[in-house]
């Protein structure tokens, strides 16, 4: 499996498995564990969760049941808006407890809350010094948020996980992160899951350009989009629930996109978000509670 080397030397598998809303939003039961175990059996080793997903326990059970050595896995979680600031260390401890782990590979600030960023990041730096987490990063951060962190951070963010797909290519943000040696990870790389209420016909996987490329290469539309990211050294964390989709998202070898193919996908950008906008997300995020 190909990896990206983060700016602190830690290697992260380029292809991860997203766990947001497996089954339903904040579902945490045997079905979630079984879905994650399916992904492990296919070969996934990088799993992305968050306290607010409410399924860290299900991932923890899958890790235990898989029998895989801990060091073979790459586990990411995130601190939610309502846990930031002075709550950060306690939120991290709760995540570790739910996951039944001694350390995390990557811990992210889930959404920017500039008023708390300094306190949140400094608490995370302490966890990093204590070797409770191997890398620190951001999620949904804007350029201004990253510039704010740069004014006081002793530990540099290793990555920024953002909504990125053919209809929202975020070229300027990608270039900015690249310049500052911050890896880019893509959530909703296929254009949002079933939880979003977005109809399949409105997603990039049904775009004629993507469909044509899929036919040309003899692969699925999803595989084309994931390969478009990976060939540009971006981390992707697609979510899937059926064994066929989990497997298809993992099988990205055996074909290469040309520069023309990549340019054709790049040109589909509409600056269209399926998920929340960092400019306005915090107001609604504050209403969402992290389940115990």
Residues placed in the known binding site: 110
Question: What three-state secondary structure class fits 78?
Answer: strand
Active-site choice (44, 53, 116, 167): 53
- Per-residue pLDDT tens over the stretch 198-212: 787 888 999 999 999
Residues placed in the known binding site for substrate: 110
Q: Residue 77: which residues within 8 A CB-CB, separation 6 or more? A: 49, 50, 51, 56, 95, 99, 104, 106, 107, 108
pLDDT at 1 (0 to 100) = 78
Say whether 53 is catalytic.
yes
pLDDT at 292 (0 to 100) = 82
- pLDDT (tens place) for every residue of the chain, 292 residues total: 799 999 999 999 999 999 999 999 999 999 999 999 999 999 999 999 999 999 999 999 999 999 999 999 999 999 999 999 999 999 999 999 999 999 999 999 999 999 999 999 999 999 999 999 999 999 999 999 999 999 999 999 999 999 999 999 999 999 999 999 999 999 989 986 555 677 878 889 999 999 999 999 999 999 999 999 999 999 999 999 999 999 999 999 999 999 999 999 999 999 999 999 999 999 999 999 999 8
- Please, what is the average pLDDT of the chain? 95
How far is residue 211 from each of residues 216, 265, 269, measured CA to CA in Å? 9, 11, 16
pLDDT at 110 (0 to 100) = 97
Each domain of the chain, given as residue ranges in start order, spans 13-196+233-240+281-285
- Per-residue pLDDT tens over the stretch 98-149: 999 999 999 999 999 999 999 999 999 999 999 999 999 999 999 999 999 9
pLDDT at 201 (0 to 100) = 82
pLDDT at 202 (0 to 100) = 82
Q: Could you give the CA distance from residue 47 to residue 76 in angstroms, rounded to a whole number? A: 6
Q: Could you give the CA distance from residue 187 to residue 210 in angstroms, rounded to a whole number? A: 19
Q: Residue 127: which residues within 8 A CB-CB, separation 6 or more? A: 89, 92, 107, 133
Locate tokens 């979003």: which residue? 196
Q: Does domain 13-196+233-240+281-285 have CATH number 3.20.20.100?
A: yes
The HSE-up count of residue 146 (CA atoms within 13 Å, CB side) is 25
């Amino acid at each position: 499996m190909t990896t990206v080397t983060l700016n602190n030397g830690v290697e992260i598998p380029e292809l991860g498995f997203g766990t947001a809303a497996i089954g339903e939003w904040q579902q945490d039961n045997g079905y979630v564990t079984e879905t994650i175990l399916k992904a492990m059996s296919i070969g996934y080793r990088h799993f992305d969760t968050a306290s607010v997903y409410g399924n860290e326990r299900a991932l923890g059970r899958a890790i235990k049941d898989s029998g895989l050595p801990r060091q073979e896995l790459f586990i990411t979680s995130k601190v939610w808006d309502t846990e930031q600031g002075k709550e950060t260390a306690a939120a991290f401890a709760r995540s570790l407890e739910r996951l039944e782990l001694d350390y995390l590979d990557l811990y992210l600030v889930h959404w920017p809350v500039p008023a708390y960023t300094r306190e949140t990041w400094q608490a995370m730096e302490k966890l990093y010094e204590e070797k409770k987490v191997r890398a620190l990063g951001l999620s949904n951060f804007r350029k201004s948020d990253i510039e704010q962190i740069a004014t006081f951070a002793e530990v540099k963010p290793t990555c920024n996980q953002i909504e990125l797909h053919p209809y929202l290519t975020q070229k300027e943000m990608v270039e900015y992160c690249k310049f500052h040696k911050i890896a880019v990870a893509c959530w909703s790389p296929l254009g949002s899951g079933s939880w979003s209420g977005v109809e399949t016909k409105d997603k990039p996987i049904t775009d004629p350009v993507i469909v044509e490329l899929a036919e040309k290469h003899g692969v699925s539309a999803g595989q084309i989009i994931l390969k478009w990211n990976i060939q540009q050294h971006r981390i992707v964390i697609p979510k899937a629930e059926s064994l066929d989709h989990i497997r298809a998202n993992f099988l990205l070898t055996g074909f290469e996109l040309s520069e023309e193919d990549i340019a054709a996908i790049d040109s589909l950008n509409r600056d269209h978000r399926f998920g929340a906008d960092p400019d306005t997300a915090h107001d609604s995020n504050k209403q969402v509670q992290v389940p115990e």
